[in-house]
Amino acid sequence: MLSQALEGKTKTNIMYDANLNYGQLQKYLPIFVSKGLIKISKQNGRVIYITTEKGKQFLDLYDGINELL
């Protein structure tokens, strides 16, 4: 979800791009928002979800761990 929202996307786009179902999206998106990994913005009357700097740092750390493994 974090990598899908780097440039800002709607819930629907995140759901399809991250290969999630609606239930999974509804479960995890609020957690990511509450932890400060994704922020909510409005653009042209649409709600957009964007990965924050903290979310980008998390992605970098996650990628580093994957490289070690």
DSSP codes, 23-37: HHHHHHHHHHHHTTS
pLDDT confidence of residue 40? 98
Across-strand partners of 51?
38
pLDDT confidence of residue 41? 97
Digit-coded pLDDT (tens) for 5-38: 999 999 999 999 999 999 999 999 999 999 999 9
> Is residue 15 included in any domain, yes or no?
yes
pLDDT confidence of residue 60? 96
> Is residue 5 included in any domain, yes or no?
no
Rounded Cα distance, 64 and 41, in Å:
29
pLDDT confidence of residue 2? 96
Domain that includes residue 20, residue range: 11-68
Please, what is the average pLDDT of the chain?
96
> Is residue 2 included in any domain, yes or no?
no
